[in-house]
Structure 1
Amino acid sequence: MPEFSEYDEELRTFVESLIEFDTTGGGELAAQEWLRERFEAFGFETYEWAADAEALAVHPEFPDDPAEIQVEDRPSVAGAVEFGDPDAGPTVVLNGHVDVVPADETLWETDPFDPVWGEEDGEETLTARGAADMKAGLSACVFAARLLMDAAEAGEASGLDGRVVVESVVGEEEGGVGAATAALDNPYPFDRDAALVAEPTGLTPVVATEGSVMKRLHVDGRSAHAARRWNGESVLPHFERIRRAFERLEAERAERVRHPLYERFDSPWPVNVGVVRAGSWPSSVPASLDADVRIGVAPGETLEEVEAEYDERLAEVVADSEWLSAHPPTFERTAIQFTPGETDPDAAVVGALREAMAAAGVEGEPVGETYGADSRHYIHAGIPTVLFGPGDIDEAHFPNESIAWPEVSTAGGVVADAARRLLS
C-alpha cells in the first residue's frame, strides 16, 4: 500500500483551500459545494442531506422552536468508497465538521482565514481558524479514504470488503445540526457499522464525551440611586451566593460521581458561568441579572437528573434568603443541550484504531473528555464511535489556532490503517 506521506503536498493544498472558506455563523455552503466537487473528482460516490428544523425541534438536545434552528443553505456532504463485496463487510464512517467558531481578528496575529505555515519546537505548524478544530482532521480523513481507494485500484489492498464513507457535516458547534440529522434519518442506502470522528484529540482515542446542561439564571433585586444604594437591593450578592453554592456542588459531584476514564481531572463535571449581564446604569443599584450557566454531565447520567441537583441547590439558597424567597429566581434551559456519549473500549472500531496506532508507534490508552462532540449522535443511534484526530483541544476556539503538521500526516495514516483493519 502507498504511504500516507505520498499525499502530503496534495493534502497541504487541500487543507489550505478548505481553511480559506469562512464557515462561521452557518456559512458552510460554499465550502460544502467545493468538498462535494472534490469528492466527485476523486471518484467517491457522493451524498448530500439537509437538516429539517421541525424534526430537530423534537430532538431533546435542540430548541423547541424550529425558528431557532438555522438549517437553510447548510447541506452536509459525504463521499463513499466501496471495496470488494461492499455488503459483505462493514461500513466505516470517517466524520468531521466543516463549521468553525468565530474569530476575533483583533486578537489574532494573522488573518484567521489565511493559512500561515511556521515552526514551533522544531515542528512545522499551520495557523488558521479551523486548523485544529477541525479542518485538518477532516482533510486527513478524506485522504485516508483516497489512500485505500488508490491501493485497491492498484491491487495492493486485496481482501477488503465494505465501505469507507467520509462525512463533512455542518453545525457541530451548534449542537450537531448535520450529525444529528444523519443519526435520526440515515442519509445512505446502507447501514453504518462504526464511526471515527477526527476531532483534535492529540492522537489519543477518546471513547467517552461529557454532556452538558445549558441554563439561564435570572435574579431580581430593587433599583435605587447609587447615592442611596442602601435603599435598593443589589442582585450581585445574591448571585454570588448562588455561584458559590454551585461551585460547592461541583466539588461534591467530583467526589461522588466517579468514572474510570475521567480520573485525571480534578473537576471532571465542571459548572461554568459563561455570561453575566447585570444592571443598567453606573449610578443605579443593579436590579436584575441574567447568567448563562453550563453544567457538566457524566457519562451514565441523564441531563434531567443533573439538572435536578442544581435546581435543588438553588432552592436551598433561596430558602435561606428572605429576599430571594419573596422574589424567587428563575433557572430555565436555554440554547443547545449535550447528552453524554460512551463507546465500549472493547468495540471493534476502538480495537482496530489501537492496533493501527501501535503499528505507527503512537501510544495512548482510551480516555474520556470533558467536552461534547458529534460522536454522541452516532452512539445514540447504535453506531460504535471513537474520537481520534490530530491537534490539541487547547488550540480549539483560541486566537492563533495552530496544529503541528506531522500530527496531521500521522493521523491520516493511522485512520487509513484502522479502516483497512476493519474492512479486512
Structure 2
Amino acid sequence: MDCRAFTERLLRFDTTDGRERPAAEWVRTQLADFGFETYTWTADAERLADHPSFPDDPAEIDTADRPSVAGVLEFGDPEAGPTLVLNGHLDVVPADAELWDTDPFEPSWDGDDLTARGAADMKAGFAACVFAALDVRDAVESGDRSLDGRVVVEGVAGEEEGGIGAAAAALDTPYPFERDAVVVAEPTDLRCVTATEGTVMKRLHLQGRSAHAATRWVGESVLPHFETIRDAFEQLEAERAESVTHPLYEEFPIPWPICCGRVEAGSWASTVPATLTAEWRIGVAPGETVSEVEAQFAERLAEVVADDDWLTAHPPTFERFTIQFEPAEISPDEPVVGALQSAMTEAGLAETDAQGATYGADSRHYVAAGIPTVLFGPGTIEQAHFPNETIHWPDVATARDVLAGTVETYLAE
C-alpha cells in the first residue's frame, strides 16, 4: 500500500464524535504490516480531569473506547541515539454533508487536489509521517544512512477535544523509552511553527425581563446588553493587540483574536428576549496564561456591569466550559527545529524561519512535559474545518520528504 492509498482509506473512516476506534485499529494493523512495533493506549478520564486543559468532572471527558496508536522503528543502537516522535491526530471535526459538493467521507480527486473531511486536518499529514518513517528505514537498510535511535509515529485520539490521546501520552508515556523531541504534522502550509496560541472558552449568560411584543417597552431585552458587552470585548481585543506583542505574531492583523461563535437568545418571536447565552473563544498569547487572560475579560465585563443599572441588579454569569488550550512555545534554537529547517532547505522550501500560529495544537502537551515540539505539515489551516476540505497532494509529498530528512538529520546529530 502506497501513501496515496493509505490516505484515501484513512479518510473513509468517519472519526467524528469519538469514533476513532475502527480507524485506530486499522492503522495499528497497517503499522504492524509495515514492520513497526506497535503500541496502544487509552486515556484515563480521572487523570485528565486534573489537567488544566480539561473539565474538572471526569464524566465530561469522553475517553471510553477511544484508543491512540503508535508504531516504532529502531535503527542501529537505539539506546545510543535520540528518539523523535512524528505525531498526527486521527479524529476530525463533523462535516455537514449539505454544505459539501461531495461526500465528506469519500475521497475525491481533482487533478492533484484531494477533497475529504480530514484531508488537511490532518490525515494526509499523518500519512506523510508514516511513509517518512518508512523512507528513513529504507535509506538505512540500503546503506545510504547510518543512524542510531528511534522514530515513533503516533496517531492520537481526541485532538479536537483538547488532545485526549496526546495529553495521556505526555502525562504517562506509553513507551519503555524516553522521547527527545516531537514533530506534529498539523497543516502549517509547509512552515516551521514553534509557537502556538492558547484559548479560553467562556459561556456568558444574561437575564432580562420578558414582555409581549406589543408592549415591549415594559420588558428588558437582553440584546442591547449583549451588544454593549460584545463591543467592550472587541475593544479589549484591540487593546491587547497593541499591548501584548510577540515577534512571531507581527504578521497577523489580529494576533490574539476573540470570537463569539454561538449566541442563543429569546424564546418566541412575539416576546421580548429575556435570556441570552453566548459562547466565546478568547486567544491567549505565548507567555501568558489562560487564567491571566480570563481575568482581563472578567474585569472588563465587571466594568460594563458597573455602568448599567439593570446588569448591576441582574449580574451576568461568565464561566468556563469545555476545553482550554494553554499556549506553547519552544526556542528556535532547539535541535529538532534546526533539523527540520535543514530538511526544509534541502527540499527547496524558501521560508524556513520559525513562525507562530493563532491556533492551538497537541504540541502544548509535549512542551509542558519538557519535550521540545515543533509543528510542520502539508495543507493550510484555512482548509481545516471547512466544507470541501482540500489538500494539494504535491504538498503531502514534500512534507513526507521533509519529515524523513528531519528524522535523518536529528538522529545523525
Q: What TM-score, normalized by structure 2, do the two folds share?
A: 0.99
> How many angstroms does 1:153 deviate by?
2.0
> How many angstroms does 1:206 deviate by?
0.5
SS at match of 1:394: coil
- 1:90 is aligned to 2:82: yes
> How many angstroms does 1:379 deviate by?
0.5
Residue of structure 2 equivalent to 1:29: 21
- 1:139 is aligned to 2:127: yes
Residue of structure 2 equivalent to 1:202: 189
- 1:54 is aligned to 2:46: yes
Q: Which residue, out of 357, 363, 370, partners 2:358?
A: 370
How do 1:8-407 residues align onto structure 2 when only pairs under 5 Å count?
A: 10-119=2-111, 124-158=112-146, 160-364=147-351, 365-407=353-395
- The whole-number CA distance in structure 1 between the counterparts of 2:334 and 2:168 is 24
- The whole-number CA distance in structure 2 between the counterparts of 1:266 and 1:104 is 30
> How many angstroms does 1:266 deviate by?
1.7
> How many angstroms does 1:284 deviate by?
0.5
Structure 2: state its 5+ residue gaps: none
> How many angstroms does 1:267 deviate by?
1.0
Residue of structure 2 equivalent to 1:5: none
Q: What TM-score, normalized by structure 1, do the two folds share?
A: 0.96
C-alpha offsets along residues 122-143 of structure 1, whole Å, 9 cap, x if unaligned? xx11000010000000000000
SS at match of 2:319: strand
When the two structures are aligned, how many residues end up with a matched partner? 411
- The whole-number CA distance in structure 2 between the counterparts of 1:117 and 1:218 is 45
Identity of aligned residues (%): 68
Give the letter for the 1:380 counterpart: A
- The whole-number CA distance in structure 2 between the counterparts of 1:295 and 1:195 is 27
Give the letter for the 1:22 counterpart: D
Give the letter for the 2:283 counterpart: G
- The whole-number CA distance in structure 1 between the counterparts of 2:162 and 2:153 is 20
SS at match of 1:395: coil
- The whole-number CA distance in structure 1 between the counterparts of 2:275 and 2:360 is 31
Structure 1: state its 5+ residue gaps: 1-8
SS at match of 1:412: helix
C-alpha offsets along residues 285-325 of structure 1, whole Å, 9 cap, x if unaligned? 00010000111000000111111100000000000000000
- The whole-number CA distance in structure 2 between the counterparts of 1:363 and 1:303 is 35
SS at match of 1:203: coil
- The whole-number CA distance in structure 1 between the counterparts of 2:197 and 2:332 is 16
- The whole-number CA distance in structure 2 between the counterparts of 1:126 and 1:101 is 17
Give the letter for the 1:284 counterpart: T
- The whole-number CA distance in structure 2 between the counterparts of 1:339 and 1:374 is 10
C-alpha offsets along residues 96-143 of structure 1, whole Å, 9 cap, x if unaligned? 000000000000000001111113xxxx11000010000000000000
> How many angstroms does 1:41 deviate by?
0.4
> How many angstroms does 1:156 deviate by?
2.2
- The whole-number CA distance in structure 2 between the counterparts of 1:157 and 1:47 is 26
C-alpha offsets along residues 186-225 of structure 1, whole Å, 9 cap, x if unaligned? 1100000000000000100000000001010001000000
- The whole-number CA distance in structure 2 between the counterparts of 1:17 and 1:43 is 19
- The whole-number CA distance in structure 2 between the counterparts of 1:101 and 1:375 is 19
- The whole-number CA distance in structure 2 between the counterparts of 1:420 and 1:130 is 28
- The whole-number CA distance in structure 2 between the counterparts of 1:30 and 1:337 is 27
- The whole-number CA distance in structure 2 between the counterparts of 1:300 and 1:270 is 16
- The whole-number CA distance in structure 1 between the counterparts of 2:376 and 2:139 is 23
